[in-house]
Chain A
Amino acid sequence: MTAPEAQETVEDPEQIKRETGLVVRGFSRKRLNLIPILQKVQGKLGYLPRAAMTEIAAYLNIPDIDVYGVVTFYNQFRLNPPGRHSIRVCLGTACHMKGGYIALDAWKRRLGINPRETSPDREFDLDTVACVGCCTMAPVTVVDEKPERQVDPTRVDGLLLAFENERKAREKEKGEKS
């Protein structure tokens, strides 16, 4: 499961260690708990930083490389912090054939990043998914857990504009507060 939207990511190494420690202690020190632990830690931190991985390896008493190997094997795990908004372009068969790759191009062009990357301002992270089960609405992009239908380059611009307005409103609010 992906992290809930607009979650604050944790980046301070001390805090990462502390939070990871809290999670691992809910599990017994068995190797077979590795994947559930990783899922839970990522759920907490939004990603799996190095400090978290070494902490987990130490707890399970396995080499760091084993943890790293598992993390990089599975698509679900991410090594860099997520953006505020998650953009998942469906490249399932139906979506691909109806132009999912055109939508992906548009996202890449507008955000200036590749799939599995986060934009430098940490507003967006981009990724692809296989069929999300709403092929009727192809091509689909899942934006913050919500599948958007028939996403073409114009729709990409529309969605981004909505986020931009939201961001401005947020900054204005911040400005007024301080």
Chain B
Amino acid sequence: MKKAEPAAVAAAFNEIKKKAGARWGNLWQDRPVILVGAATCGRAAGAIEVLDTFKAEIKNRNLDVPVIEVGCMGHCYAEPLVIIGKPGQPPVCYNHVNPVIAERLVKEYLLGDNPSPEFVLAALEPSEALPSFQDFPRAQYERKIILKNCGHIDPTRIEHYIAGGGYAALVKALQMSPEEIIEEVKKSGLRGRGGAGFPTGNKWQLCRNARGRPRYMVCNADEGDPGAFMDRAILESDPHSVIEGMIIAARAIGSRYGYIYVRAEYPLAVERLDIALRQARRKKLLGNRILGSDFSFDISLFQGSGAFVCGEETALIASLEGRAGMPHHRPPYPAIQGLHGKPTLVNNVKTLASVRHIINNGADWFAGIGANGSSGTAVFALAGKVVNTGLVEVPMGTTLRQIIFDVGSGIPKGKKFKAVQIGGPSGGCLPESALDLPVDFDSLRGAGAMMGSGGMVVLDEDDCMVEIARYFLEFTQKESCGKCTFCRLGTKQMLEVLTEFTRGEGKIEDLDNLYKLAGEIQAGSLCGLGRTAPNPVLTTLRYFRDEYRAHIELGRCPALMCMHLIAYYILPHKCERSCDACVGSCSVEAISPNKKRIKVIDQEKCVKCGKCLEACPFQYNAVVKLTPPSEVPAR
């Protein structure tokens, strides 16, 4: 492909950029602006009601204040989040906003001059009167590159993205030759964020060199890890960053047609991508002769129908072709022979979202971030027993401890850290002793886990390691497509053994059987689903063997989690006669007072939901969990 006429392309884009800048460039320069975080996490917490309240207040009072719906700011623990910017003042981010607070903010901060510090999470810039994000301990470790726009721009307005520097990388790439683009990406050291960490530039090169036309470009947005939502947050909050990356990749490999394979369970992401694609086409950033150059490329959305294995690239391609999503043997790799047998480049959402930063800032800049052969940043969805749940972006090489304790602020309720599950169903559970490992593509493997696509679930002393292993195995077993025997039957057998453990029915020899099965599944499976399925079991066996033994030999669950191995019991000497909080809390009527008005649980009826334990007033604290259930004294 020959180079496009650089001057004309740049001129066409400057025109677009000027217009966008006039409207969106200096958002809070001359009037106040309200941003409401309304990605899925925000909506679940009530962001739409907050949005409506602001809109109504602004309208009723006839104010000239735009109310803008933005995406996820990453601080999911504090949703709903609102940013209010006033000219001449640092924008302020408010947390746990509800309609009442929204009304007050309009009165006190927009109309008055009181920033209402009681509702403030932090100011976006250093400020004298308020704490700012820069003062947070996490600011020292975080480095937002891919997530920078998320929660700060209107994902439904391409102009807002452009005003903030969007599509500049595309313009630059249109003036580079495909070889130059590939060279730049190679030099940056970017590796695939979908889990495997394959060097992106090399994959592009392979695809470009492959024989066969047309070539296809596919964005893998099938995020299947059951504890993760990074890709969704990016698609909902900054869809253009992914689209821009796709167009650049398509130019590099010489593709005219691409797909975004996005989960149908992500309706908001689908909607926003659809809007974004249409806007990009209207601005001639997508479609025929992009910005007047000789390069044409278009993208369709394809909705995945909810099968974890479809995240695997060959299964994804089968699904795109209208078949059941079953993986096939690689090689041939999709880059050589993929969709309809043609060369197909498959990249993850975060990989593609990184591309524009590499083109804009140069390969050396990107390679300078990160460590240990993994350049750039890692994005995690931090969840579980950690104070600051949400999205986290840190340079590669940051340690697990820094992520969990400095960025995530540690474990809530003064509980003790037990393990971190990283990498989802393919990853593993790492204990305290592994916390100083750096997070990058290679370091975690030695410990039996992997970085995966970015799920990170923190577990504390109340979480049972046998149960979490069983949980992930149940997931992979259900999601196994059934094509190869080891994966289909092997995971089933492992699951049966683990289920027996959680019921106290296991035998100690089964531990060895588990190892054996795990080895066979790893060796004999066709795709990554089966090959990595044993990881959660192997890591828990390695680091928490005592817990397995307690289940098997003593019928005890030390974390008091496994339902079959615990019983709820009301300590008679602590139970207060006049109180019957627990009786009312029980949804199956298993608790009743005895003759002395001491409450007693009918173990036959009890469904072990734990409500009574919560309901019992703390000054009595009479409800306890016992393991094994035989600890409950006979009446």
A interface, CB within 8 angstroms of B: 1, 30-36, 38-39, 69-70, 73-77, 91-94, 96-97, 99, 102, 105-106, 109, 129-138, 140, 146-147, 149, 152-154, 156-157
Given the complex, which residues of A lie within 8 Å of B227, measured CB to CB?
A: 92-94, 130-131, 135
Among A39, A73, A106, A130, the residue within 8 A (CB) of B303 is: A39
11 A-B residue pairs with CB within 8 Å: A70-B324, A74-B307, A92-B227, A93-B424, A97-B384, A134-B40, A135-B76, A137-B45, A149-B44, A154-B585, A154-B587
CA of A106 to CA of B610 in the docked complex: distance in angstroms? 12
Question: Is B226 part of the contact surface with A, judged by Cβ < 8 Å?
Answer: yes
Do A93 and B383 touch across chains, with their CB atoms under 8 A apart?
Answer: yes
4 new A-B contacts at CB < 8 Å, known A131-B226, A153-B587: A93-B424, A109-B607, A131-B228, A133-B40
Residues on A with C-beta less than 8 A from B431 are none
Which of B184-192, B247-255, B315-323 sits within the interface? B315-323
Q: Tell me, in angstroms, the Cα distance from A78 to B451 when the chains sit together.
A: 34
Q: Which of A129, A133, A154 contacts B611 (CB 8 A)?
A: A154
Closest to A157 in B: B587
Are B609 and A129 in contact, with the CB atoms below 8 A? no
Checking A30, A74, A132, A135 against B306 with a beta-carbon cut-off of 8 angstroms, the contacting residue is A74
Q: Which of A35, A109, A137, A138 contacts B322 (CB 8 A)?
A: A35
- Once bound together, how far apart are the Cα atoms of A46 and B302, in whole Å? 20
Chain A interface SS verdict (over half): helix
Proximity string of chain B (272-296) to chain A, C-beta cutoff 8 Å, 1 when within and 0 when not: 0000000000000000000000000
CA of A99 to CA of B224, assembled, Å? 21
> Are B264 and A76 neighbours in the complex by a CB distance under 8 Å?
yes
Bound together, the chains give a CA A172 to CA B55 distance in angstroms of 36
| Nearest B-chain residue to A32, judged by Cβ | B322
Q: Quote the shortest CB–CB distance from A98 to chain B (angstroms).
A: 8
- On whether the beta carbons of A136 and B41 are closer than 8 Å, the reply is yes
Residues of A close to B226: CB separation below 8 A: 91-93, 130-131
Q: What are the residues of chain B within 8 A of A74 when measuring CB–CB?
A: 305-307, 324-325
Over the window 453-469 of chain B, the binary record of Cβ atoms lying under 8 Å from chain A Cβ atoms (1 yes, 0 no) is 00101010001000010
Q: Whole-angstrom distance between the alpha carbons of A31 and B315 in the complex?
A: 16
A34-B609 in contact given A93-B226, A93-B455 (Cβ < 8 Å): no
Interface bin, chain B: 35 or more
Least CB distance from A139 to B in Å reads: 11
Query: Which residues of chain B come closer than 8 Å to A94, judged between CB atoms?
Result: 227, 383-384, 389, 457
Q: Which residues of B contact A32 (CB under 8 A)?
A: 320-322
B236, closest chain A residue (CB):
A133
Output the least CB separation between B391 and chain A (Å).
10
User: In whole angstroms, what is the CA distance A69 to B472 when docked?
Assistant: 26
Q: Are A102 and B325 in contact (CB under 8 A)?
A: no
A92-B226, A129-B265 known; A1+B270 contact, CB < 8 A: yes
Across the interface, do A134 and B305 meet the contact criterion of CB distance under 8 Å?
A: no
Q: Are A133 and B233 in contact (CB under 8 A)?
A: yes
> Given A39-B303, A135-B76: A97 and B389 within 8 A (CB)?
no
Chain B hits for A109, CB < 8 A: 588, 607
- B380 at interface (Cβ–Cβ under 8 A)? no
In Å, the complex CA distance between A97 and B462 comes to 9
- A residues within 8 A CB of B54? none
Smallest CB–CB gap between B605 and chain A, Å?
Answer: 12
Select from chain A the residue with minimum beta-carbon distance to B268: A133
- B324 to A, closest residue via Cβ: A73
Report B420-461 residues with CB < 8 Å from chain A CB.
421, 424, 455, 457, 459
Let me know if B572 is at the binding interface, CB within 8 A.
no
CB pair B611 A97 closer than 8 Å:
no
Min CB gap A176→B, angstroms: 32
Distance between Cα atoms of A137 and B389 in the complex (Å): 10
Q: Check B229 against A133 for contact (C-beta < 8 Å).
A: yes
Alpha-carbon distance between A28 and B481 when the two chains are bound, in angstroms: 29
Contacts of B610 in A (CB 8 A): 99, 102, 152
| Pairwise interchain contact A39-B322, C-beta atoms closer than 8 A | no
Chain B residues closer than 8 Å to A106, beta-carbon distance: 587, 607, 609
Q: Is B332 interfacial (CB 8 A cutoff)?
A: no
Given contacts A93-B455, A94-B457, A97-B384, contact A136 B232 (CB under 8 A): no
